[in-house]
Amino acid sequence: MRLHPRLGFLGYYGIKRDISERLQKQVDQSLDGVSLFYDEEIRRIGVSLDIANLNEEMSVLGEKMHLHYFYRLSAEQALKHPSEIVRQSAHSGQAVSGTRIIESDELATMSQDVRQRATIVIQPTAMAMPTERKVLDVAMAKEYALPLNDATGAVSEVLCGGRVVNQDSEFVDRIRQLVFGDEEYHAKPVGTVTVFLGDVRVSTNVLDKNGQRAIGTRISEEVYRKVFEQGLRWRDRALVVGHWYKAAYKPIYNINNAIIGVLYVGILESPFQDKAATVLLAFWAVIGLASILAFVLAYILAGSISRPLTELLCWTGRKSCPAAIWGT
């Protein structure tokens, strides 16, 4: 009995397709989970502002709330502030939260720590759109603004607190831990999370070829056009800093419903491809063993059937039959 090669190829294709489909489903679900955690981070800033002891010094209070910046603005200042979140809160008298871009002019007025976080050298990236930019000098921030009212009910002040997303490793690592755990494969995290500002990776646990965080690398042109320009999800295999991942991307919007960034979740394909190869070898081994067993059983069965027939035929003429048949 010969094992046909097509059987092996079909087995491998079926196994690989099943693993790929399950992996993509896991990535899609993980992206939804990461998106919820992202929104929860913003809500937590609001909770911190809501319960803050406003009699404390602002810098001390900001550190206690783990914020990168914290302002207490008069209503007049808030209405002129560069942040659309702060302005809308001052106008509406309601708490407003979301993600926004801090432009370079505003960054120049902020702390040195924030300015350092914002500055990212843009790295050459395969399959990305052509660009002449060398350095990213704007920042993405998760921000919450809370209005304070005077005795008449009018807005008198606005509290504003935020965390800069740029180079915020604590944020992406905490999300990865919650969604994927600490599993690694060949010193690379299996599950990865990235936040892009435009098409630039500003916060990530994807590692480059030197084992460093791939900050400053860029999204592929195909993904950028679909997610950033068209506002659609993208889900498929993706080449991420030289390695293939099962990936999913979705847009990040500001409060004016404009896309300002991209949220990414990916799972490294290598360990699952290796598992598929291992399963294939086991599949071939089982098929091969079954073939050998079938051959042995067929040989034994053929012998057990042919012997009585041979004896019956020889019974009619003893001289023409082997002596072994008659036991002499």
- Return per-residue pLDDT of the chain as tens, 328 residues: 454 555 555 555 666 676 677 778 888 889 999 999 999 999 999 999 988 888 888 888 999 999 999 999 999 999 999 999 999 999 999 999 999 999 999 999 999 999 999 999 999 998 899 999 999 999 999 999 999 999 999 999 999 999 999 999 999 999 898 888 888 877 777 889 999 999 999 999 998 888 899 999 999 999 999 999 999 999 988 777 777 888 999 999 999 999 999 999 998 886 656 565 556 666 666 667 777 877 777 767 766 666 665 665 565 555 455 554 444 4
Distance from the Cα of residue 276 to its chain's centroid = 21
> What is the spatial order of strands in the sheet that 96-102 belongs to?
69-74, 155-164, 139-149, 96-102
DSSP state, residue 25: H
pTM: 0.78
DSSP state, residue 4: -
Q: How far is 183 from 268, CA to CA, in rounded Å?
A: 11
C-alpha torsion 317→321→324→328, nearest 10: 50
- Give the pLDDT score at 25: 86
Q: 3-state class of 297 per DSSP?
A: helix
- Give the pLDDT score at 185: 79
Report how far apart, in Å, the C-alpha atoms of 167 and of each of 108, 128, 131, 213, 236 are.
18, 20, 21, 9, 26
C-alpha torsion 104→258→133→205, nearest 10: 90
- Give the pLDDT score at 325: 45
